[in-house]
Structure 1
Amino acid sequence: MTAPSLRSRALTLLSLSLLAGCASFHVEQQPEAAFVVLGEQGAPLARAITSGPACPSMSVDGKAVAMNVRAPLQAIPARPTGKPQPASSAVLTCELALPADAREVRVAGRSLPLPRAQAKRIVVIGDTGCRIKGKEIQDCNDEQAFPFARIAAVAAAFGPDLVVHVGDFHYREDPCPADHKGCAGSPSGYGWDAWNADFFQPARALLHAAPWVMVRGNHESCERAGQGWWRYLDPRPMLAHRTCDDPRDDGVGDYSDPYAVPLGAGAQLLVLDTANTSYKGFKEGDPRRAIYADTLRKAEALARNASYNIAVDHHPLYAFGATTEKSGAARLFGGDAGLLQAFGDVTPRYLPASVDMLLSGHVHLWEQVSFASDHPSQFVSGFSGTAEDLVPLPASVAPGLSPTPGAVVAHMSSWIDGFGFMTMERTGARDWLVKVWDRDGRARNSCTVSGSKSVCEVAQVK
């Protein structure tokens, strides 16, 4: 008897999830979402979002406990500035810090996944929402055009110990045009309804599969979906001036300190909030340059606590993207200019010396770049739901062409116009097997990582 494929296991998980949602024998109202997010030093936090008037029941190792209210039952309030927002449903966000030795945690009777001593199997996804903004309209009602639910189910069947989302959860910013049937009926704006349609509902199978590390993207800045970010996803306490509700507080709400998540056996993730950077670079006197330089200094201090560090942020530092010029020619661009300025003020390597890998999103593709110089391997996993970038990257670049000043490219690989997810399986103290999967659970590329160096079997996935 052969083992079930990722696809068949994913379909089973998705079916069970749908059946559970339709069950009528539960007396207690099921929350709209329940999951575990990891915070500073990997501290697990149970989070639940409900439309009910009170937090759902919860038990830890068979003992009933009460969840705390993170955000009261209300619709996300409109910010005093910016475009008017459509009405949205009111939800209550609840949470509870979990003991490190907890063995079983249930919310409204449903078991939640708990962190393991070593995270050996990791799923990496990013840029998952369905884009509706201006003239960029994605067919959110079409699973082929917006396959995030399928990808989440297939990724859950991989059996991860940890899920890392590299940012940009929310994309339904504008109403679906009346003449566009592909997104008819879609909610929009920055309230719960759009958040639920974009992320929580399609991600359900994967939220139930493993604890998550949530990385903030530019779509979760205060001017955009930051109010939902602080209410629903960020693992740190939601303080009065960090809600993004008042634009006068954006200087606080748009930034947060880095933190570490141990992976076991001497490795850790360094999670960086880069939501408010500028790809154009910072003009003289822009306070963000000093803010992000301080972020990197704090990350350097955290990096000293592990022998192997993987940095995680939304914006790539060492990767290429491509655009089409008016002439029709393709033009390559490199890492985020604002972060390169700020991080370059701290170190010419742009990340601490003990960081061997950087996981990012933002560019809507999958990409790997490794360097002959002393720079970390870069992986970009921004291909899990949002409309894909279409301009192809080359299989290799000419000598002297680099995404980052001072970095010498040795190997690169990419997949353009393909939806999927990335997995990382630890094979040694400083070694990983990275695989790229499509929406149907078929492996499309395989890469080996040793320390800061990486190489993939396929240069251009077709």
Structure 2
Amino acid sequence: MIKTMVTSAFAALCTMAGAAHAESVHAAWAQVMGSDGPITKAHGEMPLNLSLRFITDQQSCPSYKIRAQKADGSQQTLSPAWIMRSNRPASQFDEVTVCQTNMDEDWVAAALLDNAGQPVTSPDGTAVTLAGASRATGAAPRVVVFGDTGCRGLILNSGSGSRFKQDCAKIGTIKQLKPETRFFFAEIAALAMQKNPDIAIHLGDYRYDQESIRDWDNWNSDFFSRTANGPLLQVPWAFVRGNHETCDRAGHGWYFFFGPNDSSITCSGMDRRLVTSWYFEMRDTSLAPTAPHRFVIVGTGPSVSRKTLPDTLDCTAITKKTGFLSDQELWEQAICEFKTALGWTQDKTTKGLPIHTTFVMHRPIWGLDTSGFHPKQVDRHVGEALAAALAQGAAPECQGYNDTGKVGACGLRSVLAAHEHMFTNVVFRDNALPQQIVVGNSGVKLDGPPGQYFNPSTGLSFRPCKVPDMDSRGLHHRRHDGYAMEYRGRMPKTLGEDAFGFLLLTRNHLATSGWDGTAFYQDGQSQSLSTAKDIASFGKLDDCHRP
């Protein structure tokens, strides 16, 4: 990664565009599409495949130009054919339009210019100059991960007034709430950009509560206004659909802004479809041969309940179903999404090397369930869908993942998830299962963690603890297994401001997961994540439980 080149490219593009600002947009970003976009390649080679998108007040796409800078320093000015996304929801998004075009992967940076050659700006007057894919296809890539960034504002609960308050921005005629918990996502996103990442992954749940009758106001307040003047410009983003982005909640906005490249997909309140799984790869050019790492986004955001396991499953027909799906059909779709995802863990590079893989999903399989008194599998139905996919014959290499106590032939090395409003690192003894990191602490009011070994003022677990007996399901069928964890969340009756944060992944092809992980928090503290190698004396760890 040539960081100084990128910085120089940004400065050069902004300077050459001129100082006067003619037009502005609400937000602009480079979105990672991977295998979900128009470009397809053979197994073992899938680029980031970027879509350049922006949100405007105009009712049609303006004819903005793109001034692109390549890694060799050359520049070119293009007049792309902007596509207006055709799935704008009725009424609540009438005042904004989303436009998109494709980005070349050899661009270091891309500036938006109006017809007069002046820079298009973000809301605060910053010239819109987007980071290109070349930042994420070089040496020693770095990834920042956010999850559950929406603001938990006013929820009315019959008979008890308001609950779950969080001090969101005042919108429209909604009365300003009495501050109880601050909303730190803007600070968290800005702090993450200081780590000079090459790509950002958002694990879902962008907004929670309706504080305005206009959905655009809510989306803008919770997400775009917090990121448009910096973080969205500085790196390409990959967006995961969370359970709050189902079609009966905030799904209309998710499909409109972040949905698949097929802009014709719409979202009705009765639509329960899962988002089709997809993947992208990041390569480390400092290695010879170049070693890719694959991020597989598994479409399991909505709630799934375990139902009958059919003897055979025609996934080609099932994944095309839309509208109101029965619980059985939704269950079968989830199995099919895992079958597809597991198939991508078996691919090899052109040189026959395994492609290390990370599953990226909103709902975690393993971790902490903050509603109980003992850590357990937090969403057993997701784990059961994964197990059902294996039972259907998907990825036989993954079925014996833990038979030898070592990482086997299966390429799956780690899992990224959110949903639980805290930070958790889950490490299985002897790498019996992939490491799972839960990043659900990037904005929404936090949950309080179980466990007794934390600082009473911060909720930080300073040393790992263990769960000695646990049916962890999914990739193996051993009756009992143990795992260690470290976590950080809100202490009961406290604001938990110091526990909001994000995850930084730094490429390390020698690590079991393929990455070194560090959790960063709003108060400036950080935590290097333990691995199975670090916890060699698993049996000496204390059990995890509530005090």
TM category, shorter: 0.7 to 0.9
* Aligned amino acid, residue 131 of structure 2: P
The 3-state SS of whatever aligns with 2:99 is strand
Out of 117, 130, 147, the residue aligned to residue 126 of structure 1 is 147
Residue in 2 aligned with 1:255? 274
Q: Distance in 2 between matches of 1:192 and 1:26?
A: 28
Range that drifts further, 128-137 or 210-219: 128-137
Q: Distance in 1 between matches of 2:197 and 2:385?
A: 34
Q: Distance in 2 between matches of 1:97 and 1:143?
A: 43
Higher strand share: 1
Residue in 1 aligned with 2:482? 409
Q: Distance in 1 between matches of 2:293 and 2:467?
A: 34
Deviations 1:363-390 (A, max 9, x none): 0000011112631100000100000001
Q: Does 1:332 align with 2:390?
A: no
Residue in 2 aligned with 1:427? 508
From the superposition, tell whether residues 366 and 358 of structure 1 become closer, same or farther in structure 2 (CA, over 3 Å).
same
Q: Distance in 1 between matches of 2:360 and 2:388?
A: 20
Deviations 1:302-346 (A, max 9, x none): 22335200110000012122215xxxxx24341322222221112
Contact 1:435 1:446 in 2 (8 A): yes
Out of 125, 130, 142, the residue aligned to residue 112 of structure 1 is 130
The 3-state SS of whatever aligns with 2:107 is coil
Q: Does 1:49 align with 2:55?
A: yes
The 3-state SS of whatever aligns with 2:342 is helix
Q: Which of the pair has more CA radius of gyration?
A: 2
Q: Does 1:201 align with 2:225?
A: yes
Deviations 1:41-75 (A, max 9, x none): 3201111111124435131343222352333596x
Shift in Å, 1:398: 4.3
CA RMSD of aligned residues (A): 3.0
From the superposition, tell whether residues 156 and 301 of structure 1 become closer, same or farther in structure 2 (CA, over 3 Å).
same
Residue in 2 aligned with 1:16? none
Residue in 2 aligned with 1:69? 83
The 3-state SS of whatever aligns with 2:218 is helix
The 3-state SS of whatever aligns with 2:167 is coil
TM-score normalized with structure 2 length: 0.67
The 3-state SS of whatever aligns with 2:384 is helix
Q: Distance in 2 between matches of 1:379 and 1:32?
A: 32
Q: Does 1:100 align with 2:113?
A: no
Contact 1:307 1:354 in 2 (8 A): yes
For structure 2, the 5+ residue unaligned runs are: 1-6, 8-13, 35-45, 69-74, 114-118, 120-127, 157-162, 170-178, 284-290, 309-326, 348-353, 392-397, 402-408, 453-463, 491-498
Q: Does 1:371 align with 2:428?
A: yes
Q: Distance in 2 between matches of 1:267 and 1:295?
A: 20
Deviations 1:246-305 (A, max 9, x none): 345x15xx3222111111122110111212233xx3344611111011101111222233
Out of 304, 307, 312, the residue aligned to residue 346 of structure 2 is 304
Matches within 5 A, 1:103-252: 103-108=108-113, 109=119, 110-115=128-133, 116-118=136-138, 120-132=141-153, 133-134=155-156, 135-141=163-169, 145-173=182-210, 175=211, 187=212, 191-204=215-228, 205-239=230-264, 242-244=265-267, 246-247=268-269, 250-251=271-272
* Aligned amino acid, residue 77 of structure 1: A
The 3-state SS of whatever aligns with 2:465 is coil
Q: Distance in 1 between matches of 2:237 and 2:451?
A: 30
Give me the identity figure in percent.
Answer: 24
Residue in 2 aligned with 1:17? none
* Aligned amino acid, residue 56 of structure 2: T
Shift in Å, 1:347: 2.0
Q: Distance in 2 between matches of 1:442 and 1:413?
A: 15
The 3-state SS of whatever aligns with 1:399 is strand
Out of 26, 34, 37, the residue aligned to residue 32 of structure 1 is 26
Q: Distance in 2 between matches of 1:434 and 1:70?
A: 38
The 3-state SS of whatever aligns with 1:112 is strand
Deviations 1:172-211 (A, max 9, x none): 33x3xxxxxxxxxxx356x211101011111232212211
Residue in 2 aligned with 1:447? 529
Q: Does 1:362 align with 2:423?
A: no
TM-score normalized with structure 1 length: 0.78
Out of 390, 397, 402, the residue aligned to residue 347 of structure 1 is 390
The 3-state SS of whatever aligns with 1:192 is helix
Contact 1:258 1:299 in 2 (8 A): yes
From the superposition, tell whether residues 454 and 317 of structure 1 become closer, same or farther in structure 2 (CA, over 3 Å).
farther
For structure 1, the 5+ residue unaligned runs are: 1-12, 14-19, 79-86, 176-186, 325-329
Deviations 1:108-133 (A, max 9, x none): 43210112214621101100010133
Residue in 2 aligned with 1:269? 295
Contact 1:35 1:46 in 2 (8 A): yes
Contact 1:73 1:91 in 2 (8 A): no
Shift in Å, 1:165: 0.7
Q: Distance in 2 between matches of 1:388 and 1:233?
A: 25
Q: Distance in 1 between matches of 2:303 and 2:484?
A: 27
Q: Distance in 1 between matches of 2:437 and 2:449?
A: 18
From the superposition, tell whether residues 67 and 221 of structure 1 become closer, same or farther in structure 2 (CA, over 3 Å).
farther
Residue in 2 aligned with 1:327? none
The 3-state SS of whatever aligns with 1:291 is helix
From the superposition, tell whether residues 107 and 235 of structure 1 become closer, same or farther in structure 2 (CA, over 3 Å).
farther
Out of 464, 469, 479, the residue aligned to residue 400 of structure 1 is 469
Range that drifts further, 25-34 or 192-201: 25-34
Q: Following TM superposition, where does structure 1 have runs of at least 4 consecutive aligned residues deviating by more than 6 angstroms?
A: 348-352
